[in-house]
Amino acid sequence: MSRIVVKLGGRVAADSTGYVLERRAAGDEVVVVHGAGPQITEELERLGQPIRFVGGRRYTDSQGLAVVRASLVAVGSGLVRLLGEDAIQFVGDEIGLEAEPVPALGLVGEPIAARPPAIESALASGRIPVVTPVAVGPLNVNADEAASALAIGLGADRIVFVSDVPGVLVEGTVARRLHADAASALLDGGELEGGIVPKLLAAVRAARLGVRAEIGVTEVLA
């Protein structure tokens, strides 16, 4: 039996529950962490609130934080319904998920590795924890970073990032394997932009601390 953290991107979350159920049917312990990027952007646009990203991460002010939290909670609730009666939703700040504030991004934090007792108890009882990534504060946290922090803290064997990208592009080709040092060089060189940046950062962090990391078909190696 393996312990797996699966991060579902907001754009594909509802269509990716089959993978989660397959892994659980195979006997794995599965923790789901989800995003809600498109849903948050849509709601901010509807309300006429500003949208700003810095290095692939969303800048969040006090008004935006309310939208972020509500959108995330709604996506998480929807995933629980799709995953069935064994799934249970946990909102991060309610189970002690903490983060270091990042003032340059407003009310945003970088998640700290954590092993929440509520998640351990849920796994022990055969449940599927669905984690809504909001940190104590409250602070908005990037879902990729939250998934990595939980994978490290929970001692997961694998972390899998499921999104609408097939993997990490290197010189126009999707890489099957990418060593952490090479990934860091890509990131430092500014060759990547957008949502793949926090995914790769999170994968590198997990890989270097002993968690097998996969972004689409790309395996990130320590």
Q: Domains, the chain, ranges and CATH? A: 3-221 (3.40.1160.10)
Tell me the residue type at 155.
G
The predicted structure's pLDDT at residue 150: 98
User: Does the pTM exceed 0.85?
Assistant: yes
Q: Cα–Cα–Cα angle for 123, 128, 129, nearest 5°?
A: 80
- Count CA atoms within 13 Å of residue 128 on its CB side: 27
> Is 9 in a helix, a strand, or coil?
coil
d(CA 215, CA 116): 25
For the chain, residues with pLDDT lower than 50 are none
Long-range contacts of residues 120-127, Cβ cutoff 8 Å, at least 24 apart: 120/154, 122/88, 122/90, 123/3, 123/29, 123/31, 126/86, 127/86, 127/87, 127/88
> Is 125 in a helix, a strand, or coil?
coil
d(CA 67, CA 64): 5
The predicted structure's pLDDT at residue 146: 97
CA distances from 95 to 92, 120, 218 (A): 5, 11, 31
Q: Cα–Cα–Cα angle for 196, 198, 204, nearest 5°?
A: 95
Chain centre distance of CA 84: 21
The predicted structure's pLDDT at residue 56: 67
Which among 52, 54, 74 has a CA at the least distance from the CA of 63? Answer: 52
